[in-house]
Structure 1
Amino acid sequence: MPELDFADARLHYRLGGNPDGPALLLLQGQANSQRWWDGVRTDFEDVYRTITFDYRGTGSSTAADADWTTRSFAADAAAVVQAAGFSRAHVYGTSMGGRIAQWLAIDRPELVDRLVLGCTTPGGEHAVERDQQVRRSLLNPDSAERRRALFELMYTDAWTGSPEESTVLGDPTMTAAATRRHLRVSARHDAWDRLPEIAAPTLVLHGDEDLLAPVVNAELLAQRIPDATLHVLPGARHAYFDEFRVAASGLVRDFLAAGS
């Protein structure tokens, strides 16, 4: 796996798919490595050169303790795209990855071709937070119960997979300190005032049964970002991209192809 060295970090990234295709950067959720995309990346690799990387504190990446933010992670993402040999890329970010993608599109507009924001929020005082019952379930001191609660927030009862098979329930290799820092990164995100600056054509995707990031946040993003397109998937929860993979990946592919 290629590496990108900084003075205070070493980031591991992965290239896949069509070596002659346009770049597609995939940005995963909070406290997860690039394995978040294991079940989805192949949906795009016949056409696109996919790029994923382990955030600081996750997977095979290493980094010194620092005040990480979604904006600093966006700078990391830009550096990875350029290290992979691309000057532009489509960007698909989900959950915290969608927050990072917002800053990437704001700070590096020349780098972002088309933008997809999935199951995410604008952050700050304008975002609609999860309710107290959800918060309590994720703070359960029993790790098994906490994981079970997260699984139920990610997937519907119809999902035939198991928590043991899922790659979106957190990176088990992370330290407790890194996990806390990721929580702080995501919680402190606020791009509201800058969202109207996003110039990239934008698709906002969300499940209407998402309790981790209530669907009203998708509506706020679509209203705030100029000419954004909103698509809500009926019956889907936070991991819509996995459980509703055929429909969700099809929507993303159609949106990206419209810019060709």
Structure 2
Amino acid sequence: MGSLSVLRAFFAILSLCLLAASAYLLWSWYDGEWVRDAEGVLRRVREDWRLWTGGSLLAWSFLGRSVVLLLVARGDTDPMRLERGNGTFVDSPTGARLYVEIHGSDDLPPLILTHGWSLDSRIWHYAKRELARHFQLIVWDLPGLGQSKRARAKVDMRGFAQDLAAILQLAGGRPALLAGHSIGGMILQTLVRDQPELFGREVRGVVLLDTTYTNPLKTMILSGLAQALRWPVIEPLMRLTILLQPLAWLAAWQSYLSGTSHLSTRLGFGRSVTRTQLDRTARLMTMQNPAVTAHGDLAMFRWSAEEALRACPVPILVLGGSKDIVTKAEASEHLAHIAPRAQLQIMEGANHMGPIEQAAAYHSAIIDFAQAVQFRRPTPL
């Protein structure tokens, strides 16, 4: 989501400042200061505190990740892994080449998961293990992220919705359940708006996970400040990231090694996040092309589908986190209010990355919803 991208950029700048400070201190120690002693002889004087401080900052710049993880996350009982299954590629009408994995038996009802921005389908580690027992689970990488290739055209939500419609064809004509986290939920709403004929015919139900209905800067915490900073700070920073993509990528990896990227990512989790959940999420965000993520952030700032769900004929489950700082619970409440067949469930203690941190609770809610709607024919409005 755009607000987390901005936080990652600022923390990456902080990490570079620490690295620059270490370089300055080490150089100033080596260079020293020439002073004349009582006998009139010039001697180089070095201050040891510069050596130790500079060395410590340099070590933190490349090894701080482990310390940060120990301090800000819990130990693991069920480690998260970044794994790929047997994937294939689907060509989209947009020109994108989409990486897709299918898990579970084709005798089970199809469930298509769309991940959040700056991530890829490997974020669904727990879902691929648990939900594939109940569904034929289809996960995919958004264009330009993971192994999916985007067309030369600009990144936009309408194109993403067309890509999702192409993925929907993998259900083989069977009514499917669509679920999307963060930007994934925004893409689902765009699909409802642009291709409403799919809903009730090829789509049996929709699950919106920690998402919003408009520019996410308007539904995050400190939204007034975020919107005030949009034009003078945030958008120029995104465009600078696009122009300086190789340097931005190097800065992102240095931030990952120092642990500052983990601090920014930690803001999207609740109190029970584990070390592997935090580290793997931060790593996925670091691995993505920063120019692509910046283009996507700019697209989100210009997006709104506030009225899209009013005409949606299928049941909708809206799952929001009570502690979500990126898409506040009020955004989930608004979505549930405007959709005629929506039900709302606020997950207590969940932040924006609730589907990872509280995977079992989210999965249970999705399974219960699917059982309620899977064999019930949607009624037209």
TM-score by length of 1: 0.88
For residue 178 of structure 1, report the CA deviation from its aligned partner: 0.9
CA RMSD, 1 decimal: 2.7
Are residues 83 and 247 of structure 1, via their aligned partners in 2, closer, same or farther at CA, if it must alter by over 3 Å? Answer: closer
Q: Between Structure 1 and Structure 2, how many residues are aligned?
A: 258
Which of residues 202, 205, 220 in structure 1 aligns to 2:334? 220
Are residues 215 and 62 of structure 1, via their aligned partners in 2, closer, same or farther at CA, if it must alter by over 3 Å? Answer: same
Residue 343 of structure 2 corresponds to which residue in structure 1? 229
Q: SS of the counterpart of 1:258?
A: helix
Residue 205 of structure 2 corresponds to which residue in structure 1? 114
The letter of the residue matching 1:103 is T
Residue 104 of structure 1 corresponds to which residue in structure 2? 191
Deviates more, 1:165-174 or 1:33-42: 165-174
Answer whether contact 2:322 2:329 (CA < 8 A) is retained: yes
Residue 167 of structure 2 corresponds to which residue in structure 1? 80
- The answer to which structure has the higher helix fraction is 2
Residue 66 of structure 1 corresponds to which residue in structure 2? 153
Are residues 199 and 150 of structure 1, via their aligned partners in 2, closer, same or farther at CA, if it must alter by over 3 Å? Answer: farther
Q: For each residue in 1:4-40, what CA deviation from the matched residue of structure 2 results, as whole angstroms up to 9, or x when unmatched?
A: 1247321111111122111100010012111121222
For residue 125 of structure 1, report the CA deviation from its aligned partner: 9.2
Which of residues 325, 329, 339 in structure 2 aligns to 1:211? 325
For residue 134 of structure 1, report the CA deviation from its aligned partner: 9.3
Which of residues 133, 144, 166 in structure 2 aligns to 1:46? 133
* Separation in structure 1 between the aligned mates of residue 167 and residue 151 of structure 2, nearest angstrom: 18
For residue 168 of structure 1, report the CA deviation from its aligned partner: 6.8
For residue 126 of structure 1, report the CA deviation from its aligned partner: 10
The letter of the residue matching 1:28 is H
Residue 186 of structure 1 corresponds to which residue in structure 2? 300
Q: SS of the counterpart of 1:45?
A: helix
Residue 93 of structure 1 corresponds to which residue in structure 2? 180
Answer whether contact 2:102 2:138 (CA < 8 A) is retained: yes
Which of residues 120, 134, 139 in structure 2 aligns to 1:33? 120
The letter of the residue matching 1:130 is I
* Separation in structure 2 between the aligned mates of residue 207 and residue 168 of structure 1, nearest angstrom: 20
TM-score by length of 2: 0.62
Q: Which of 1 and 2 has greater Rg?
A: 2
Q: Percent identity?
A: 27
Are residues 171 and 148 of structure 1, via their aligned partners in 2, closer, same or farther at CA, if it must alter by over 3 Å? Answer: closer
Deviates more, 1:186-195 or 1:233-242: 186-195
Residue 200 of structure 1 corresponds to which residue in structure 2? 314
Are residues 234 and 251 of structure 1, via their aligned partners in 2, closer, same or farther at CA, if it must alter by over 3 Å? Answer: same
- The answer to which structure has the higher strand fraction is 1
Answer whether contact 2:134 2:367 (CA < 8 A) is retained: no
Q: For each residue in 1:75-134, what CA deviation from the matched residue of structure 2 results, as whole angstroms up to 9, or x when unmatched?
A: 111111204534431011111001111122332323221111010000149952332699
- Unaligned 5+ runs, structure 1: none
Deviates more, 1:213-222 or 1:105-114: 105-114
For residue 64 of structure 1, report the CA deviation from its aligned partner: 2.6
* Separation in structure 2 between the aligned mates of residue 88 and residue 151 of structure 1, nearest angstrom: 36
The letter of the residue matching 1:123 is T
